[in-house]
Structure 1
Amino acid sequence: MENLVPAKVKKPTCACCSDEVHTHVHQHGGSHSSMEGHDHDHNHDTSGLGWKAYLPASISFVLLGIGLLLDYVVEFPIFRGYVRFVWYALAYMPVAWPVVRDAWATIRHLDFFNEFTLMVLATFGAFYIGEYPEGVAVMLFYALGELFQSAAVTRARSNIKALLDIRPKRATVKRGAGFIQVNPEEVQVGELLQVKVGERVPLDGIILSEQAQLDTAAITGEGRPKVYRRGEGVLAGMVVLDRVIELKTEKLYADSSIARILDMVQHASSRKAKTELLIRRFAKIYTPIVFFLALLVVCIPYFFVASYNFHDWLYRGLVFLVISCPCALVISIPLGFFGGIGAASRNGILFKGANFLESLTKVNTVVMDKTGTITKGTFAVNYMETVLDKVEFMAYLQHLERQSNHPIAKAILNYTGSAEHVFEVEEVKEIAGHGIEALVNGRWALAGNAKLLERYGIAYPEQLNMEVDTVVLLALDKEYVGFVRLADELKEDIVGGLLALRKEGVKELVLLSGDSDGIVQKTALYLKLDRAFGNLLPEQKVENIEALKKDKHRVIAFVGDGINDAPVLAISDVGIAMGAMGSDVAIETADVVIQDDRFEKVATSIKIGKATKAIVYQNIVLAFGVKLLVLLLGASGMATMWGAVFADVGVALLAILNAVRIQNMKFD
């Protein structure tokens, strides 16, 4: 995975807040948004989660364990007074130092009410009243929660990076007298590249070869290969089909579409879900309130309790303070959404923000493009009719079409069944927009559309003019002998994908396409879609979406892949792009990208969104329920600091484990 992130990509953002931060996600406090813009750089990086990341917590755990043994089991005589204090202070420092440093950073910027200051006050107070083990335990479990969170975020981020690493791994560049292979990121503007048949163009450039045929589907969404000639520009991601080419680079790798997509992924967490934003706003109000409530727990009883004992009520106040820390909420909710993003990426789906995970759960109308979205974007023979033997008929047709580079010719050549016939082909002539004529095995043969036969006055069945799909006619010695019908093939998973959408609560399925209305209506009828519109220009697609959006109860997801789909992707509630064959513009405009172009992943993305939302709500109920119970017990003196530890850090750990659970779910 080395060199995955291009140089221009910013620092990764925290899974819990929109600040650019260190990779260790150690800033999920309720008031953290007030720190935007200041220097919040920490060095305790746990993104890789190697053994060093666990070392402070391990040291504290061992020292705390030994201390508890000496306190309650062995009862070592010397383990008293200052010795006991120093021992627990040594156990406290490895895990407390990063939190104390963060607390000081927030205080310097006049942010006093967050989980850092709450933790520091509560644990310092525990040391003040002699409850050393409890003070260490609170901070230790807090550190463990941080490690769990970092591990979960790292796992999700690595899933995303692995799926996005679809760029060409090597570029063949001319250096000195020959060509050598280097990392595409090392190629400079103006260098000479060589790309072989079947390879992807690694960087944008100008073609220097005479001409070449390239598959442009990944960039333009066009299913038909395109011929490029000398001096024309080609883009990274196009696949060379017919010959070795040379080109001169125009841009650095960092400026490629793949790099831009990765940049968006790294910052996906900055686009917050409404639930996450609500909890963060709540935490900003909640934290100072509970701080002053804890202060009242200590002070108010002085005026009403005859046997008031400051030590006892301070302990209750500290317990209240630890319990009230909003860690479980402000850690687990953003982590739940980030976990959903990671789970989606593991399933080949890229979400550009947590808000789109939440929006997808409300989708009740799915509008889709046709070519490249529900179809493969390539032609195939699906019907044949001839007066000849079918094998002989295809032999004539294939020998003629072998002389052409047209996508329809390639589709005919891909049809099997005539390999036993070997004909001699002479005097080949391609007539633009019509077809091919030649002498095949001594017979004058024509293969093309109806216009070609009309050109030579050859009669053919009238009903062929009514065909909505593409047809290729064959004539031998001025006599019509048959035709084949070709159509853009539906994707294998389209029927199952549409059924899955219905099961997920999608009430309306709509097809918008630039193809002829006859083909579009035929496709819609076969797939049992609710509405279908053909012959649409990009602006007409937009008009159709705007008409649908007039019904305020509709939440619309649009699924497309081409440049002409970009405007519709932008105005839909959720735009979903097919990433493998989709155009660069469509991928950048979309909110969700399906990496392998499988239509059934649209329903999968909705399932992941619903599972994520369910986990987030479970965490909210868990955190509030347990905290409320233990807060009441703490204020009445029935809960100890250990109970507070469970209510705060224990619940946070449970919530984190629940959030991580989504990454192991199966959504097939």
Structure 2
Amino acid sequence: MEESKQVYRLQGLSCTNCAAKFEKNVRGITSVEDVQLNFGAAKLTVQGAATIEQLEEAGAFDGIKVYPEKSREPENKQSFWKKRENITTMISLILTAIGYVLYFIMGESHPATIGVFVGAILIGGYSLFKVGLKNLTKLQFDMKTLMTIAIIGAAIIGEWAEGAVVVFLFALSEALESYSMDKARKSIKSLMDIAPKKATIKRGSATMEIDVEDVQIDDILMIKPGQKIAMDGEVVKGQSSINQAAITGESIPVHKSAGDEVFAGTMNEEGSLEVRVTKRVEDTTIAKIIHLVEEAQAEKAPSQQFVDRFAKYYTPAIMIIALLVAVVPPLLFGGSWSEWVYSGLAVLVVGCPCALVVSTPVAIVTAIGNGARNGVLIKGGIHLEEAGRLNAIAFDKTGTLTKGKPEVTDIVLLTDKTEQEVLGIAQAIEQFSQHPLASAITRKSIRVHADVYQADGFQSITGKGAKAMVQGEEYYIGSPALFEDKFSITSEVQDKISQLQPDGKTVMLIGTETKVDALIAVADQIRKSSKTVIQKLHQLGIKQTVMLTGDNKLAGNVIGSSLGLSETKAELLPEDKLLEINNIKEKYGTVAMVGDGVNDAPALASADVGIAMGGAGTDTALETADIALMADDLEKLPYTISLSRKTLAIIKQNITFAFVLKLVALLLVIPGWLTLWIAIFADMGATLIVVLNSMRLMKKDVL
């Protein structure tokens, strides 16, 4: 029998150490087979059976509340100042202040002074001692154990005042760390509030408002102007401008009419729409984004893995150093016991790994949230870090740098036939073809109101063109090679073809066995944003930008040079693109491949970072790529590189700062200058600065 898998959302998960302990406690429930805790997203996945009461009991030490994933989690609108742990912190501060007043009036050893300080320690440190003493009995050494030992030690040697200050400052740093982590999580939670929870639907002649969970595929959504669209679907009636910024990051609204796709969470601006629902609520694009973002937060970045491994050995090492500082000088060099035990306690406090442990996850969670709100889906910390190290970027041409929609650019008439006649004959033949060049001719014919003809006996000539009977005469349309094979081409026609091809245009000929009536030149249109994006990437320091295309060399080189790319590789098969990616990797190091996520899968997989465009509405792009640009546009690429680099820089700053500050504080032991005050300020200060530095990634614009 298959084990049941339950997913829960958590409230009150305050720190990484608490998360690890909670996971261990849940694992200890006998009916639980396996547990996965996602700290960044505050989600718990339990394999096996466990009641909510059992799970909350496992997290009782940190006041963790557990809710089933599908249920509506109650909004925790409790003020920062009304939380129980924050109230006890404030009482501890007031008692510590009173204690210092008595300290100066009555002296440090007066029973009233000691009593007030003891009150400050017990009230402010109650939850700390409860966990710390329990850990001590089990020989589990985390930061709460270190703090508990330090405060008990301070009390034993009569340092009541400093013990009270340490308790207050530790409680304050915990409260601020919890507050900042909640803020980072809320940036992700805001994604969940994008799509409405209710939808107005029409079933038969009745119109009703129901929960989105009850909406069925093929239901008709009624959307008024100014309303958010509740589900993914296809417009069946009406037209309007839709603001898709929440999904794709595009600031300019997109015009939608019958047959166009719309996404849950986007805003209908002016017209009324009727939309046929195409996906259930759990399968909508926004639901997929939320799921992938949460999964991304659970995936540890290389720097975080390093810090986690380091912290494992770091805490026991600090305990040993603290013990040596407390014991060696008095035993071997006749030092004062109280003085060196005090220094040992200060080493314990300063050695807390809080700042190191939070240095990476807060930055990663915040950056992934920023990306998601700006239409960039980054599927893990590892991809975020890799994108920050990019030296080269390879682009697919069709549909990435170009629109992927060829247009007729020139019609060169060679006989007395008019443009309308030529296009009419061409459309009559090409209407039977699925080729992109055929659709370009059809679009042009409709635009210029070409003559309408009927074609009979259509026959495709593989790789070269087609032929059919139009008005009793056999017409051919296709490449110059088709006409060269069948009939000879005059030098005049050859000259005209040679004039068009160097501009990157694909030239088709239309005519009969005896004459060529016209040349039709077709070209894929370059996206307006492509040139600017390439310039921005070079400004950001990307050394090499390469276009990989299956198109002919002439067309490829024209587009490559007009965009300012470093290099163009043309006439490539999918396996050749893979080879090129490996060559670029050898030459330049870290390389990204940008494509549409459907074609070029081997190249996307082989690159260090696979970036897919047009993730909105394209399941393949969301699933295959490491990073998905939700809009069908490259404009977010420089932003993504910039966000990744800034994240990488902030992680390095955090780790370096936390190391250096602790090292400096530890060196103060040598001249005997390290006090418990300095120790707790060094620890709390490092944690706060690391968290605040990471929060800079919340800013919308990182360029």
Q: Please tell me the TM-score bracket, short chain as reference.
A: 0.7 to 0.9
CA contact (8 A) 1:563 1:584 kept: no
Q: 1:656, CA displacement in angstroms?
A: 1.7
Corresponding position of 1:326 = 353
Structure 2 counterpart of 1:585, which letter?
Answer: T
Q: Does residue 668 of structure 2 align to residue 620 of structure 1?
A: no
For 1:294, the equivalent position in structure 2 comes to 322
Q: Distance in 1 between matches of 2:411 and 2:162?
A: 82
Candidates 531, 542, 551, aligned match of 2:578 = 542
- Deviation string 1:310-340 (CA, Å, 9 cap, x unpaired) is 3x33322211110111211112233233333
User: In 2 relative to 1, CA 332–393 (structure 1 residues): closer, same or farther, beyond 3 Å?
Assistant: same
Deviations 1:66-123 (A, max 9, x none): 3344233476779986665564455445653444455467568x56222121122223
Match of 1:253 in 2: 281
| Cα distance in structure 1, aligned partners of 2:666 and 2:135 | 26
Quote how far apart the aligned CAs of 1:559 are: 1.0
How far did 1:648 drift?
Answer: 0.8
Residues 103-122 of structure 1 mapped to structure 2, 5 A cutoff: 103=132, 112-122=140-150
Residues 1:96 and 2:96 aligned together = no
Partner of 1:4: none
CA contact (8 A) 2:315 2:353 kept: yes
The one of 399, 402, 407 aligned to 1:375: 402
Deviation for aligned residue 1:137: 3.4
Q: Which has the higher contact order (CA 8 A, sep 6+)?
A: 1
Give the structure 1 partner of residue 27 of structure 2.
38
Corresponding residue number in structure 1 for 2:31: none
With over 3 angstroms needed to count, the CA separation of the structure-2 counterparts of 1:287 and 1:633, relative to structure 1, is same
On the 8 A contact 2:422/2:517 being kept in 1, the answer is no
Alignment of structure 1 residues 178-193 onto 2, 5 Å = 178=206, 180=208, 182-188=210-216, 192-193=218-219
Given candidates 68, 72, 95, the residue that maps to 1:67 is: 95
| Structure 2 CA distance for partners of 1:27 and 1:426, relative to 1, 3 Å | closer
Mapped to 2, the partners of 1:636 and 1:534 lie a distance apart of: 68
Asked whether the equivalents of residues 31 and 111 of structure 1 are also in contact (C-alpha less than 8 Å), the reply is no
User: What's the RMSD between the two structures over aligned residues?
Assistant: 5.5
Q: Give distance in 2, aligned partners of 1:448 and 1:50.
A: 76
Q: Secondary structure at the match of 2:600?
A: helix
Contact kept in structure 2, 1:343 and 1:662, CA below 8 Å: yes
Q: Is the 8 A contact 1:429 1:436 kept in 2?
A: no
> Among 625, 636, 639, which residue is 1:601 paired with?
636
Match in the other structure for 1:194: 220
Change (3 A) 1:597 1:8: farther
Aligned partner of 2:560 among 509, 514, 524: 524
Match of 1:263 in 2: 291
Q: Deviations over 1:185-238 (max 9, x none)?
A: 3335xx542379999994699x999xxxxxxxx99xxxxx9x99xxxxx9989x
What is the SS of the residue equivalent to 1:650?
Answer: helix
1:138 is aligned to 2:158: no
Q: Which amino acid aligns with 1:495?
A: K
3-state secondary structure, aligned to 1:373: helix
Q: TM-score, normalised by structure 1?
A: 0.73
**CA distance change for structure 1 residues 171 and 68 in 2, over 3 Å: closer, same or farther?**
closer
How many residues are paired up?
Answer: 610
Number of the residue aligned with 2:534: 498
What code does the residue aligned with 2:590 have? Answer: V
Please give the secondary structure, in 2, of the residue aligned with 1:608.
helix
Gaps of 5+ in 2: 29-57, 66-73, 238-246, 249-255, 267-272
In structure 1, C-alpha distance between the alignment counterparts of 2:469 and 2:199, rounded to whole Å: 42
Report how far residue 562 of structure 1 moved: 3.1
- Which residue of 2 is the match for residue 16 of structure 1? none
Does 2:630 match 1:610? Answer: no
User: d(CA) in 2 for partners of 1:201 and 1:31?
Assistant: 37
* 1-structure distance, mates of 2:94, 2:286: 53
> 1:174·1:193 contact (CA, 8 Å) conserved in 2?
yes
* Residue of structure 1 in register with 2:387 after alignment: 360
**Distance in 2 (alpha carbons) for counterparts of 1:581 and 1:384:** 36
Cross-structure match for 1:584: 619
What does residue 317 of structure 1 align with? 344
3-state SS of the aligned residue for 2:628? Answer: strand
Separation (CA, whole Å) in 2 of partners of 1:512 and 1:60 = 63
2:426 and 2:477 in contact (8 A); partners too? no
Shift of 1:52: 5.0
Residue 431 of structure 1, CA deviation:
9.1
Separation of aligned partners in 1, 2:199 and 2:550? 37
Q: How does 1:652-663 map to 2 (within 5 A)?
A: 652-663=687-698
> Is residue 351 from structure 1 mapped to residue 378 from structure 2 by the alignment?
yes
Deviation for aligned residue 1:492: 2.2
1:24 aligns with 2:38: no
Question: Residue by residue, what CA displacement relative to the aligned partner does 1:454-486 show, whole Å, maximum 9, x if unpaired?
Answer: 99xx999554597564668899xx999877644
Instruction: Report % sequence identity.
Output: 29
In the TM superposition, what whole-angstrom CA distance separates every residue of 1:228-271 from its partner, at most 9, and x where no partner exists?
Answer: 9xxxxx9989x9xxxx999797x743245653442221122332
Query: 1:285 is matched with which residue?
Result: 313
CA contact (8 A) 2:326 2:337 kept: no
Mapped partners of 1:176, 1:30: distance in 2: 51
In structure 2, do the counterparts of structure 1 residues 200 and 656 end up closer, same or farther at CA, with 3 Å as the change threshold?
Answer: closer
Aligned AA for 1:603? P
* Residue 596 (structure 2) pairs with residue 571 (structure 1): no
- Please show how residues 88-487 of structure 1 align to structure 2 within 5 Å: 88=117, 91-92=120-121, 96-100=125-129, 102-103=131-132, 112-160=140-188, 162=190, 175=203, 178=206, 180=208, 182-188=210-216, 192-194=218-220, 202=231, 252-255=280-283, 258-306=286-334, 308-310=336-338, 312-380=339-407, 382-383=409-410, 408=440, 411-412=443-444, 461=493, 463-464=496-497, 467=501, 469=505, 485-487=521-523
Shift of 1:601: 2.9
* Aligned-residue offset at 1:558: 0.9
Q: Sort the Cα spacing of 1:147 and 1:631 in 2 relative to 1 into closer, same or farther, 3 A.
A: same
Q: Distance in 2 between matches of 1:398 and 1:179?
A: 47
Closer, same or farther in 2 for the Cα pair 1:28/1:382, shift >3 Å?
Answer: farther
Do the aligned partners of 2:420 and 2:445 also contact (CA within 8 Å) in 1? no
Q: Give 1:576 shift.
A: 1.2
Cα contact 2:153–2:345 (8 A) shared by 1: yes
Alignment-mate amino acid for residue 320 of structure 1? V
Matches of 1:267 and 1:247, distance apart in 2 = 30
Letter in 1 for 2:27: H
Tell whether the 8 Å contact from 2:423 to 2:450 is kept in structure 1 after alignment.
Answer: no
- Residue 505 of structure 1 deviates from its aligned partner by 3.3
Pair 60,247 (structure 1): closer, same or farther in 2 beyond 3 Å: closer
Output the CA distance in 1 between the equivalents of 2:124 and 2:454: 81
Asked whether the equivalents of residues 597 and 604 of structure 2 are also in contact (C-alpha less than 8 Å), the reply is no
Structure 1: state its 5+ residue gaps: 1-6, 13-20, 210-217, 220-224, 229-233
Provide the C-alpha distance between the structure 2 equivalents of 1:431 and 1:246, rounded to a whole number of angstroms.
Answer: 41
- Residue by residue over 1:20-78, the C-alpha shift from the partner in whole angstroms, topping out at 9 and shown as x without a partner, is x7663412489879949736634346996741576345424532443344233476779
Distance (whole Å) between structure 2 residues aligned to residue 197 and residue 469 of structure 1: 44
CA distance in 2, matches of 1:98, 1:608: 38
State the Cα distance separating 1:125 from its structure 2 match. 2.8
Deviations 1:435-464 (CA, angstroms, capped at 9, x unpaired): 99999xxx9999995599999xx9995545
Q: 1 CA distance for matches of 2:98 and 2:677? A: 18
Equivalent pair of 1:469/1:519 in contact (CA under 8 Å) = yes
2:129 and 2:287 map into 1 onto residues whose CA distance is 38
Conserved 8 A contact 2:343-2:669: yes
Aligned to 2:41: none
TM-score (norm 2): 0.69
Give, as a single letter, the amino acid of the residue that structure 1 aligns with 2:661: V
SS in 2 for 1:647: helix
